[in-house]
């Protein structure tokens, strides 16, 4: 009986200290690799530059797990 209590307490403590599951990488506070963040920032910069040539600005949207950029009027 005592061993069961020790094992259960250990298991509960291990689960309480584990990181949360990441099911939505774009959710605030979720873990994102720094490489992904830099890649997405660079893509936004490129989209802004391309849209600026047309006199527009870039707007980001998510579709099927990818970030897409559209040019819209200012």
Pick the residue with more confidence: 8 or 68?
Answer: 68
Reported confidence tier of residue 73, pLDDT bands at 50, 70, 90: confident
Query: Do 59 and 72 form a contact (C-beta atoms < 8 A)?
Result: yes
Residues 61, 70 contacting (CB under 8 angstroms): yes
In this predicted structure, the answer to whether residue 22 has a pLDDT above a threshold of 60 is no
Which candidate, 45, 51, 47, places its Cα nearest to that of 73? Answer: 51
pLDDT score for 52: 92
End-to-end Cα separation, the chain, in angstroms = 70
CB 69 within 8 A of CB 58: yes
The yes-or-no verdict on residue 29 having pLDDT over 70 is no
């Amino acid at each position: 009986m005592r061993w069961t209590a020790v094992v259960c307490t250990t298991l509960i403590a291990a689960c309480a200290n584990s990181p949360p599951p990441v099911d939505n990488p774009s959710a605030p506070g979720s873990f994102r690799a720094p490489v992904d963040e830099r890649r997405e920032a660079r893509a936004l910069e490129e989209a802004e530059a391309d849209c600026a040539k047309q006199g527009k600005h870039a707007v980001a949207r998510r579709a099927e797990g990818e970030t897409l950029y559209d040019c819209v009027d200012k």
